[in-house]
Structure 1
Amino acid sequence: MHMLAIRIAQAGLVARIWESLRQEVGTERASAILVAAIAADARCAGETFARTAPGRASLHHFATVLDRWQDGGALNIKDIRLTETALHFAVTACGYAQSYADMGLAPELGSILSCSRDEPFAQGYSPNLSMYRSRTIMQGAPACLFTFTWAS
């Protein structure tokens, strides 16, 4: 099953949990709880992906995740530039943003469900990896601009 299909299946349940939490503890606290849980899951996924690296984790191996991230039309990734210390790319179409909008989910929840996973995934992959993203499609930008940097 492609990651987009998995996330769509999870989104309906998470949306109901988020709404219940918002009623009980308010939007800010509900969002913080979901972000923490989703970040922990993403960190574990990053650790799991790192174990697939031949030898040890590296930026070049990490860059191979872009293929998986594009599976099933989840993301359209362009302008990929990989150097010894950085991976830059632009996401020009986001199936997550479109699917969540089609489901009627608030952009804030969509951002929690998808965008909040990226940095913890990188941290789980390696403490040498950091991420910078200046904007997201989920926030209304035309593209998500990513830079992952490897510090030895």
Structure 2
Amino acid sequence: MSFQISWFYWALLSALFAALTAIFAKIGLQGVDSDFATLIRTVIILLVLIGIVYARQKWSNPFLLSPKTLGFLTLSGLATGASWLCYFRALKIGDASKVAPVDKLSVILVALMAVVFLGERPTPREWSGILLVGAGVILLALKR
């Protein structure tokens, strides 16, 4: 029996785990450099993913992938690493309840980049939701 759920539920689970990431990281960053904390987190992620790929017998030779696929996965990995370093530095000095929503400006950036680079065309309803995320970030950023 295959475990199939829609993309929306996977995205909700991603949001849940991202929220837990912020809370656990903020607590875990006490008394440790943010870059070193990012390294620890990355090693743990690597070990967990190795276990998952091994257990599900999903390993294949990465050198058999096309150069384009390898290139873009490399760029994605570099962007992820940069994002994590910046996120942990922000969490180290800022409130998790403010850092995490600002980090979600990525919602707007992804939408814009998806239009430009992937040819996606969000509907007016979808743009409204995307812009509401941006409005929320602006409200958080305003000085009191």
Based on CA coordinates, which of the two structures has the bigger radius of gyration?
2
Structure number with higher strand proportion:
1
The bucket for the TM-score relative to the shorter chain is 0.3 to 0.5
- TM-score w.r.t. the length of structure 2 is 0.37
